[in-house]
Chains A and B, each alone.
Chain A
Amino acid sequence: MNRVIEQQYNNKFKEVLLLGNDWKKYFRSLITPFNVIAALILSIGIPLTVIRFTRGIGAVSNLNDTNPWGFWIGVDVLSGVALAAGGFTIGTAVYLFGMKKYHPILRPAILTGFLGYFFVVVGLCFDLGRPWRLPYPMFVSYGVTSVMFLVGWHVATYLTVQFIEFSPAFFEAFGWRKIRRWAVRLTIGATIAGVILSTLHQSALGALFLISPNKLHPLWYTSYLPVFFFVSAIVGGMTMVIFESTISHKVFRHQIDPVDHLTLKEITFGLGKGASALLFTYFCLKWVGVAHHNNWHYLNTSLGHWFLVEVFGFILAPCLVLFMGFKRMNLTMVRTGAIWTVLGLILNRVNVSIIAMNWQRADRYFPSWMEIMITITVITVGLLVFRFIVNRTPTLYRHPDFLNEPDH
């Protein structure tokens, strides 16, 4: 058993915080290549953050009156939420479909989901004109005719639910057995609530764009947008879990039980198979959307070609790569297919919110380097927090003191 886990049995706050080191040793241990790069990123990102909140959105972004939404909405919010869907996807598989074999990746998936949504909200605060008023749609004024109202409520309640689902890990880290039991009893209810909320807000994010029929290019604007966003979110969540587990098993290999290293292969193939099947469905659905509005003639335009790039190059192609990877039991192929799918998901959200949006206007939008840098900063901080929590809680392994406790 390695030293990291041993130290945590002490359960004292400082032991957990400093991983059993004293302050000097801890800070010296922080000098790693990743941390140096992260520090560099933060050294640019933090000043940009100060500028953003003292000089306004216009000081750091190219957003304008015709294009009020851009990189932050397209990447931080839309892509972020879809890729954080692994939490409810794996939770459903394990607790509602009874697929026990995915249990080892459940907690990291939920943590990815929780932190994913949390940092979506952080990223959103950069984009909102008055982020301190974020609670207003919940407590001050209710715009119930707005799809955005739904999104706001659901993200807030879903964050709470994800926190409840992950909380047993925290309580194990500090040895609070009684509270942990109480939290664990909420797990099934929280999982079900999570599925309901996820169904609604993933599709709601797509429904947001239903209000722009004259602004969104016909190949992307369809009454099926909510369905497309929901299906692609499940795919995005599953492939993001493959991606995250691949990296976690390398970076945190000292924490992981040898048995779990072996089962990861089976889990990855299982997820890859499911993602491949869903991707194929999503591919077909895209064509149903085109046919429904009889928009075939748009395919032979420049944006039409871009649509084909998205659908063939980033939905069908990774679908086939995942499929081949599964058939040939080739782990690398499946992992490649997973990353490809994630990129395709981001491409779709960027297409809907930026590239295919306002396609007929002269005053188009392109993000400034500062917008992109801020997004990179938010993601970096998210990764740092993820690592911080994984190093201090039984996320990638089962805490020996709690092996005999129920987990739901």
Chain B
Amino acid sequence: MEFKTLQEFLTFTKGQEYLIAIGAIVLFSFFWFLLDRKQQKQK
């Protein structure tokens, strides 16, 4: 992908990075919830 300016490049990559990071947090919260639920079931 061709970026005309540094600004465009930064906007594109930072936007992507934040989306992935937020996605990771959401998924992680979900899996922590699943893990804890499993532990409680075992008890």
A residues engaging B (CB < 8 A)?
142, 144-145, 189
Residue B3 lies at the interface, judged by CB distance under 8 Å to chain A: no
Q: Which label, helix, strand, loop or mixed, suits the secondary structure of the A interface? A: loop
B residues engaging A (CB < 8 A)?
7, 10-11, 14-15, 18, 29
Please, which residues of chain B bring their CB within 8 A of the CB of A145?
7, 10-11, 14
Bound-complex Cα distance A142 to B14 (A): 11
Bound-complex Cα distance A261 to B15 (A): 50
Tell me whether B15 and A142 are in contact (CB under 8 A).
yes
Please, which residues of chain B bring their CB within 8 A of the CB of A189?
29
Tell me whether B14 and A144 are in contact (CB under 8 A).
yes
A and B contact pairs by CB, cutoff 8 A, 10 listed: A142-B15, A144-B10, A144-B11, A144-B15, A144-B18, A145-B7, A145-B10, A145-B11, A145-B14, A189-B29
Minimum CB distance partner of B29 in chain A:
A189
Minimum CB distance partner of B9 in chain A:
A145
Minimum CB distance partner of B8 in chain A:
A145
Minimum CB distance partner of B16 in chain A:
A144
Please, which residues of chain A bring their CB within 8 A of the CB of B14?
144-145
Interface centre among B10, B11, B14, B29 (most CB of A within 10 A): B14
Q: How far is the CB of A230 from chain B (nearest CB, A)?
A: 19
Bound-complex Cα distance A189 to B33 (A): 10
Q: How far is the CB of B24 from chain A (nearest CB, A)?
A: 12
Please, which residues of chain B bring their CB within 8 A of the CB of A144?
10-11, 14-15, 18
Bound-complex Cα distance A145 to B18 (A): 11
Minimum CB distance partner of A153 in chain B:
B18
Bound-complex Cα distance A145 to B15 (A): 8
